Every structure is written in C-alpha cells, then in structure tokens.
Structure 1
Amino acid sequence: MTVYWFMMAWVILFGILAQVSARKVCVGEYLGEEVYESRVHLFVAVVTFAVIVFFAGARSYVADTTAYIKMFNDYPLFQNAHDVIFDSSAREPGFRLFSILIKTYISDNYTVWLSIIAVISGICVMVPLYKYSCNFGVSAFLFMASCQFTWMFNGMRQFLVAAIIFSCTGLILKNKTLLYIIIVCILSTIHKSAFILIPMYFVAQGEPWNKRTLLFIGCIVLAMLFTSKFTNLLTDVVEQTDYATSVEEFRNTDDGTSIIRILVESIPIILAFIYRNRIKGKLTPIVKLSINMSLIASGLYVISKIASSGILLGRLPIYFSMYNLILLPWLLRNIFDKKEKDLVYYIMIICYFFFFYYQMEIAWGGLEYASKILNVKY
C-alpha cells in the first residue's frame, strides 16, 4: 500500500495546486448572467496524473499484470505474426496487433509496452477532466479515492478502451453519432465489451430523466422482479463475449458487486435526483450527459449485483462511471451554499478516504505492487 498512499498524497498536493492556479472561464449563462468555472492549467493537470502513469508503467506485478507480461513476451515480431494476429479463436485482434507493433518497432521490453498503455490511458482520462471538470483537483482525488485508478494496474485492456472512449466525450456532445460508433467498433477489437457503448449512447442522449432513461430504470426494475430468468439470460450472453473463459471460474464464487461499491458510485446520481429542481436551470450539456452516464453506471452495478456477477458484469460500468468524476464536483458546487459546501466537502473527503482504505486494505486484502525496474515490492 505504500506506493498507493504516495500516489494519493501526490494527487492531493498537485490537485490543490491545480485549483489554486486555475483560471476562470465562462461556460454559459444562468438567469441572464454569465456563469464562470475554474479550469486548470494543462501542465499542472499532466503533473497531477503523472504519478499514476509512472507507477502503472513501471509495474512488474499487480494482479493480472504477470499474465499480460507473459502474453507480450510470447508475441512474435510483426514479420512472423500473421497467424497470431488473424487467429480466429482469439478475441482481441486489435490489442494483439497494437502490442506486436510496439514490440517490433519500438521495444521488446514489457515495461515500455506497459508505459505506452499507461500514458494513453492516463492522458485519455485527464483530458476530459481538464476540459470539463469545474474542480479538477477534486476530480483527480475522486479518481484515486474511488479506486478507479486501479484499472490501470488490473484490467488495463478494458480500461484502455474505457479511457479512449471517455476522451471522445466531445463527439457525444456534438452528436457525431457515426464517428462515435466507428470508434467503438474499432475499440471492440481490443475488448468486445465496448459494444455496450452503442445502445447506451442513445440512452445517454438528451435531458436527464427523459423517456429513454426512465425506460432504462424500468428495465432495472424488471430485472429485480425476474431475477432468476434475468441472471440466466445474462449468463448466456456473457458466455458468448470476451469474458467467456472466466465464466466457469467465477460462477460459484462471485456474489456480485459489493453494496458499498454500489452506494459509493451511486452518490452522484442520488444527489442529482434529490436536488433535480434546484439544478434544473443550471445544467450544461456536459452535466446532462454526466447525469445520464452516472445513471447507466449505477444501473449496471445494480444489475451485476442481481446477477451475482461483480467480476464479469461488474466491469461494464467503468465505461460510464468516470463521468461521476465530472458530475460530483459540479453538484457540490451548485447544490449547496457556501456554509453547507465547506461541510459537505469535508464529509466527502473523509468518507472517500475511508472507502479507499476499505477497498484497498479490507476488500482486496492490500493490493500488492512490485516493480523490477524500480526495485520495489510492497
């Protein structure tokens, strides 16, 4: 845990510096007056995320890293890779091609490979927060304290897809539907679960609590009412996807996403619903999108609990839950007055610290970290 606590301290320190040095920009109008929000300087934003990228790239062992390293070392060079790239029995041709090109033309050192993926993932998370978050420091803190950062250490292939699509937020805001779908289809060659982004793209469009989002809520209610049939349906679907090889392994041991995780990830959408009348006239396009994405994330977490599939279906919400990093700071800024706001910020920080400790130390039993290049092991 030493490495992760160091990362937390770094993110908090530079997150604070980012906000202190932030500039004010106009993001729209409310009641005839211009509304200004803080936007940090790009350099400080990069430095804030640099520590996560550095340790993610330098790792030799964290959870599934060993399997990824073995896979990379077994890949042939591009000249001899035809059978590997076009192997119909494998499910990630895009990821294999990407990795083989790195090994052939950049370096056959797995640390370089992991670092490139970490840089891409880190930048793709940082840029939307830099562009859209009204409080980058809080967003960066939430990325650490909610343990979403651990995806860069465990589950990096799916998170690479999630981060890239998160960086394409502007395409959703500009209604670039065709381009968005093309990108999703390309990313599905890295991780097939990306296809869920296509139907959810249409659910997330428009005003919060519109007919499409209410229909999505209705589907969740039906899933609760018909739990056993729904679970069997999901199992049949998942067995045909990228998770197929893991279904049998986890069928008898996975009891679904934890209630604590569901609660933590649902806080933003719960606040948005409770105070929907107070924020109604203040909603910007990015906030509307973030509310809808947060609703989808919470719904999928609930479904994963119903289906007792935290390891399989519980991984899907990462495509949507990163919008909570934008939504929660905005809600805290726009719901509460100054006296309430200070108290709520303190409560939020304390609660997320407790969650970080619980998730890392208790739920995961202390997430190990080892790096040969840094000569450290914790």
Structure 2
Amino acid sequence: MAVYIFMLGWVVVWGIMSQITARQVCVGNEVYEKRVNLFIAIITFSVIIFFAGLRSGVADTYAYISMFKEYPLWSDAYEFITDPDAREPGFRIFSILIKTYISQDYHTWLFIVASISGVCIMYPLYKYSCNYGMSVFLFMVSCQFTWLLNGMRQFLVAAILFACTPLILNKKPIPYFVIVLFLSTFHTSALIMIPAYFIVSSEPWSKRTMVFVIGIILAMLFTSQFTSLLDTVVENSDYASSMEEFKDVDDGTNPVRILVESVPIIIAFIYRNKIKDKLTPIIKISINMSLIASGLYIISKIARSGIMLGRLPIYFSLYNSILLPWLISNVFEKNEKRLVYYTMIICYLGFFYFQMCVAWNGLEYVSDILNLWY
C-alpha cells in the first residue's frame, strides 16, 4: 500500500498546485471555467504512469508478462497472427512490433502501454475538467487507476476512446466508428461504443436515454435470458475463459462500487432542472456516459456477472471524473461547496481504503527495476 499512498499524496499536492495556477478561459457561450497549466497537469499525472509502467507484478501483470515472453519476433509471427483460433489479433501485432523493433524487454512494453493509456486519460481531463486536480484525485480514489495495473489491454482501448471524446463532441461518427472497429481487434468489448455513441450524443434525459433506462429494467426482469444472450455474444472473446473460470464465485459488482459510481448521475438527476441551462456539450455527454455506466453496474450485479459486465462500465465511468467536479461547482451555492467538497473527499478516501485494504486485501505492488516489493 505504501506505493499507492505515495501516488495519492503526490496527486493531492500537485492537484492543489494545478488549481492554484489555473486560469479562467472561455469554454463557449460566455461560460468561463478554470483550466490548468499543461506542464503541471503532466507532473500531476506522471506519478500514475511512472509506477504503472515500471511494475513487474500486480494482479494479472504476471500473465501479461508470460504472454509477451511467448510472442515471436515479426519474422516468425505470420502463423501466430493468422491462427484462426487466435482472438483479437490487434494487441498481438502491436506487442510483437514493440518486441521486434523497440525492445524484447517486457518492462519497455509495459511502460509503453501504461504511457499511452495514461496520456489518453490525462488529455481529456486537462482539456475538459473545470477542476483538473479534483478529477485526477477522483481517478485515484475511485481506484480506476488500478486498471493500468490489472486489465491493461481493455483499459488501453477504453483510454484511447476516452481521448477520442472530441469526435463525439464534433459529431464525427465515421472516424469514431473506424477507431472503434480498429480497437475491437485489441479488445472486442470496444464494440459497445458504437451503439453507445447514439445514446451519449443526445440530450440528457431525452427519449434515447429513457430507452436505455427501460432496457436496464427489462434486463433486470429477464436476467437469465439476458445473461444467456451475453454468453453467446462473448463465446469467442477473451471473456469466455474468464467467465468459465470464475462463474462459480462471481457474484457481480460490489454494491459499494455501484453506489460510488452512481453518485454523479444521482446528483445530476436530482438537480437536472437547476443545471439544464448551464450544460456544456462535454457535460451533456458526461451525464449520458455516467447513466450508462451506472446501468451496466446495476445489471452486472443483478446478473451476477462482475467478471464480464462489471468490466464494461470503464468505457463510460471515466467521464465521472469530469462530471462530478462540474456538478459540485454548478449545483451548490458558495457556502455549501466547501462542505460538499470536504464530505466528498472524506467519503472517497473511505472508499479508497475499503477497496484497496478490505476488498482487495491490500493490492500488491512489485517492481524489480525500482526494487519495490509490497
């Protein structure tokens, strides 16, 4: 835990510094918000990339390292890549190219993946968050940063799509879909973002979003049929083996996680009339993304499918780090904001402790480069 506490402390200190040095900029229609200095934004987030990139252990990292060691070099990779039983070849090709032309050391490979993922998370937070320091803090204490350590292939895809947010804002579906299809060769779950595009690009609480809510209710009512359909969909994906291995112990997403991830959308719904005239394009998208994330988390609990469905919300819940600081800034009066901020910080720190120390029994961290073993 010492490494993660250090990371959190770094983020808090530099996050505060980023807000102190932030300046007011116009974000459209005479709406002004604070935006941070790029250099300090990089410094704030760098600690996450640093430790994620230099790890040599943690959760499924061991499996990824073994996989990388088995990858052939490009000259011997044809049969390996064209194997009809090989699933999602994009990540394999990407990794083999790194191994062939950059380095055969898995440390370099892990650092490249962590750097790409980290930068793709940092950029939208830097560009769109009204409180960058708070956004990075939320990314840490909500434990979303652990995706860089466990499940890095899917998170690489989710992070890149998060960085493609401008394509949604500028209503450019074709290039967005092309990127989604390309990334689906890294992880097939990326395909969920094609139908999601049409939901999140609509107005919050519109008919499209209500259709999604109705879909959640129907999924709850017909859980067994819904789960069977999902089994069929992922039969040929990497999820299949995971589901088979863990289906007897998988009881769905932790209710505490569901509650934490649902806080932004609950606030947005309660105060929807108060904020409707203040909504910016990125916040509209973030509200819809948050709604989808909460819906998927709820379904994963009802369907007892935390291994599969419980991983899909990461494509959407990343937007909570943009949404929640904006809501606190625009919903509450000046005298209330400080109390809300303090309450939020205490509650999220409590969740951080619960998730890291209780639910995960203290998440290990191993780095032979840094000579760290926790």
> What is the TM-score when the length of structure 2 is the normalising length?
0.99
After superposing the two structures, state which structure 1 stretch, 190-199 or 243-252, moved more: 243-252
User: Is the CA contact 1:25–1:38 (under 8 Å) kept in the aligned structure 2?
Assistant: yes
Match of 1:132 in 2: 128
Does residue 279 (structure 1) correspond to residue 275 (structure 2)? The answer is yes
Equivalenced residues, count:
374
Q: Secondary structure at the match of 1:293?
A: helix
- 2:287 maps to 291
Q: State the partner residue of 1:16.
A: 16
Identical-pair percentage: 67
Where do residues 1-378 of structure 1 align in structure 2 (5 Å cutoff)? Answer: 1-29=1-29, 34-378=30-374
Q: Deviations over 1:5-39 (max 9, x none)?
A: 0000001111111110011101123xxxx221000
Deviation at 1:2, TM superposition (A): 0.6
Secondary structure (helix, strand or coil) at the match of 1:311 reads coil
Deviation at 1:234, TM superposition (A): 2.3
- Give 1:90 deviation, angstroms: 1.5
In 2, the alpha carbon distance for the partners of 1:105 and 1:236 equals: 38
For residues 182 and 226 of structure 2, the distance between their equivalents in structure 1, rounded to whole angstroms, comes to: 29
SS at match of 2:33: strand
SS in 1 for 2:83: coil
Structure 1: how far apart are the matches of 2:241 and 2:206?
38
Q: Deviations over 1:269-307 (max 9, x none)?
A: 000000000000000000000000000101110111111
Once the two structures are superposed, what CA deviation does each residue of 1:288-342 show, in whole Å capped at 9, x if it has no partner? 0000000010111011111101111100000010000100000000000111000
Any unmatched runs of 5+ in structure 1? none
More displaced 10-residue stretch of structure 1: 179-188 or 231-240 = 231-240
Q: Which amino acid aligns with 1:235?
A: D
RMSD: 0.9
Local SS of the residue matching 2:27? strand
Counterpart of 2:356 in structure 1: which amino acid?
Answer: M
Aligned-partner Cα distance in 2 for 1:213–1:162: 21
User: What is the distance in 1 between the residues matched to 2:225 and 2:172?
Assistant: 37
CA contact (8 A) 1:193 1:242 kept: no
Give CA-to-partner distance per residue, 1:39-89, whole Å, 9 cap, x none.
001111111111110111111110000110111111111111111122221
Q: What is the DSSP-based 3-state SS (H/G/I as helix, E as strand, rest coil) of the residue aligned with 1:61?
A: coil
Matched AA of 2:3:
V
Q: Which amino acid is 1:322 matched to? A: L
Report Cα offsets for 1:167-225 as digits up to 9, x if no partner.
Answer: 00000000110000000000001001101110111111121011110000001111122
SS of the residue 2:28 aligns to: strand
Provide the secondary structure at the position in 2 that maps to 1:281: coil
Work out the CA distance in 2 between the residues paired with 1:228 and 1:94: 32
Residue identity in the other structure for 2:24: K
Name segments (4+ residues, structure 1) moved above 4 Å: none
Distance in 1 of aligned mates of 2:153 and 2:228? 27
User: How far, CA to CA, are the matches of 1:189 and 1:66 in structure 2?
Assistant: 22
The secondary structure found in structure 2 opposite 1:165 is: helix
Aligned partners of 2:87 and 2:236 also within 8 Å:
no
Matched to 2:245, the amino acid is E
Name the SS of the counterpart of 1:36 in structure 2: strand
> 1:76 and 1:232 mapped to 2: Cα distance?
37
Q: Distance in 1 between matches of 2:369 and 2:216?
A: 47
Gaps of 5+ in 2: none
Greater mean deviation of Cα atoms: 241-250 or 51-60: 241-250
Letter in 2 for 1:24: Q
Aligned partner letter, 1:19: Q
Quick one: distance in 2 between partners of 1:263 and 1:16? 27
**Matched residue of 1:241: which SS?**
coil
CA contact (8 A) 2:120 2:162 kept: yes
Contact 1:231 1:306 in 2 (8 A): no
- Contact 1:234 1:307 survives alignment (8 Å): no
